Amino acid sequence: MKHFEQLWEEAEDLSHKLEKINYKTALQILRQNIDNIVDAKVLETNEAEAMGEILFALSFLSKKLNINVFAALQSSIEERKIENYG
C-alpha cells in the first residue's frame, strides 16, 4: 500500500504528463468538484470521487507552482491554532 506522499507525487507527475491539464482546467476541476461535494445529496454525486478530483487538481497546481504542500498545510494549521487557542 502506498503512503499518501507517494500517491501525491504520482498525481503530480501524472497531471503534468497529461496535455489537457493546465491552470484553467485545474481551477475548473476544483470549482466543479467543490460544488459537487456541497450539493452531493441533491446531485447524488460520489463525494469521495469529487474529493479525489479536487486533490488531483491541487497536485497539478502544487507542482506547477513549486509549492511544498506539507509546509503550506502545516503553516495553515499553526495559524488556525494561534487564532483559535492563543
Amino acid 23: pLDDT: 83
Into how many domains does the chain fold? 1
All 3 cell numbers of residue 22? 493546465
Task: Provide the whole-model pTM.
Answer: 0.73
Query: pLDDT tens digits, residue range 41-82?
Result: 655 667 788 888 889 899 989 998 999 999 998 998 898 889
The parent domain of residue 8 ranges over 4-85
Query: pLDDT tens digits, residue range 1-54?
Result: 889 889 989 998 988 888 777 888 888 888 888 887 777 665 566 778 888 888
Counting beta carbons within 10 angstroms of the beta carbon of residue 53, is it exposed (0 to 12), middle (13 to 18) or buried (19 or more)? middle
Q: Which phi and psi (to 5°) does residue 74 adopt?
A: -60, -40
